[in-house]
Amino acid sequence: MESPILRFADAVWRGSVRPEDVPVSDLRRDGVQEIAYGVAMWPACGNVYVVRGEDGLALFDTGDAHEASPSYRAIRKWSAEPLKYAIFSRGRADRLAGLEEFDAEPGPRPLVVAQEGLVRRLAQQGRTAGYNATVDLREQGFPRVVWPLPHRLPDLTYRDRLSLSLGDVTFMLTHAHGATDDATWAFLPERGVLLTGDLFGWTVPGAGDPQRVQGYPDEWAVALRAMAALDADLLLPGRGLPICGAARVRRALADTADYLDSLVEQTLDLMNSGARLDEILHEVKPPPALAARVYLQEHHDEPEFIVRNIWRLHGGWHDGNPANLKPAPDAVFARAVAELSAGAASVAGRAVSAAADGDLRLACQLAELAAQAEPDDHQVHEIRALVYALRVQQEPGTIARGVYAWAAAESRSKITGLDLLDVYHDVTEGRVWWLPVAN
């Protein structure tokens, strides 16, 4: 009998169900679902996969701390075999937790395996703990958490490739550069199963997150092509539902590689012609046919952000504008602009006009200048909150929505005294009663 996960996976591929409409919580109520012989899935924000072989079990990613207990119970209901390996696909919080109850079982603890760069990445996260907590708040509205988050350090690391055996099934692990430089993907040749980690996730690849470390779109595409060449029958992504059938798997991986390659080549061509970053950002676009694919929608990251990371990777941080090499402080520049414009209120008023004309990019820039020039002016903050809240409603990706919602919440809470996080969640969920009502 086909699992509900695979039925939804086929519906999403065919376009009859949107990826964001898949009832993940309902699917979890059915526990761990076997989706191939000896391979089961716990669907989550970071999927957990468990593989059963003659010598025991292996986990590919272990989930986050909030779901550790329910996923443990679900896995143990599916199989009581000892857990031999736990493989981390990269050093991300929702990949590293979930082992505490397995570790407490009688017998040897499972062997934790990861690419050698993961340990270095975790150390880096510790050095930027306060920044990571701030980004979590700004981007997703998470309550402040203590970084680094609880995790097991690897017992075994590898550099380029490593094979692990469960008797009748082999994990062929391969290192890749993707959103980070410590990614691992795995192929199970006896089962025809490909475990991609975050190298595939039913969305535009996360190679451009503006608040995270450097991403690697060039090498990401190389990894995707290497995976496509394996002709796997089943693709198990780090996020989202499986892809079944060798032809579909090849197409999804090749299309995603082509998408990244196109952004890279367009950006490099313009860089080589002497273009500034500003020009490149507004000229480079993904191929329309690829951008229409259901698995290449801008749910999180966006092409514009990826272009910035391509520039940073190949050209450094300077954008080509000489005035931006050593600029005046933002507040000083903002006050100068306000003086030229008869004050911050005038700049804010121009932001309202830009918003009314549908140019929310310009509206946000002007509102930000006005607030920097007069940081205690409630009328200016009312306008700043308005234009950023309008921007949230226009944006498709969660990164941009989170940043803009936080900006709106900052200004709105400054005016009203309301809790900033409460206002943030109102904005992200569309409960912004102070927005003008459209006719």
Which pLDDT tens digit goes with each residue over 366-385?
999 999 999 999 999 999 99
Please report where in the chains the tokens 């490739």 appear, as a residue.
161
Three-class DSSP category at 161: strand
Cβ atoms of residues 367 and 351 within 8 Å: yes
Q: Which two tokens stand for residue 163?
A: 């094979």
Q: For 140-169, write each residue's pLDDT tens digit.
A: 776 655 656 667 899 999 999 999 999 999
Cβ atoms of residues 143 and 424 within 8 Å: no
Check residue 147 and give its pLDDT. 59
Spatial separation of the C-alpha atoms in residues 247 and 48, rounded to whole Å? 24
Cβ atoms of residues 370 and 345 within 8 Å: yes
Helix (H) or strand (E) holding 26: helix 24-29
Domain definitions of the chain by residue range: 4-260, 328-429
Check residue 97 and give its pLDDT. 86
Of 370, 366, 375, 364, which is closest to residue 343 (Cα–Cα)? 370
Check residue 334 and give its pLDDT. 96
Check residue 45 and give its pLDDT. 84
Q: Which residues of the chain have pLDDT under 70?
A: 1, 142-150, 436-439
From the options 1.25.40.880, 3.65.10.10, 2.40.50.140, 1.10.3720.10, give the CATH code of 328-429: 1.25.40.880
Spatial separation of the C-alpha atoms in residues 287 and 281, rounded to whole Å? 15
Work out the angle at residue 258's Cα, subtended by the Cα atoms of residues 257 and 264, and round it to the nearest 5 degrees.
90
Q: What is the DSSP string of 338-351?
A: HHHTTSHHHHHHHH
Q: Which residues of 32-55 are buried (b: 16+ CB within 10 A; e: fewer)?
A: bbbbbebbbbbbbebbbbbbbbee
Q: Regarding the domain delimited by 4-260, which CATH topology (the fold level of the hierarchy) does it fall under?
A: Metallo-beta-lactamase; Chain A (3.60.15)
Check residue 1 and give its pLDDT. 58
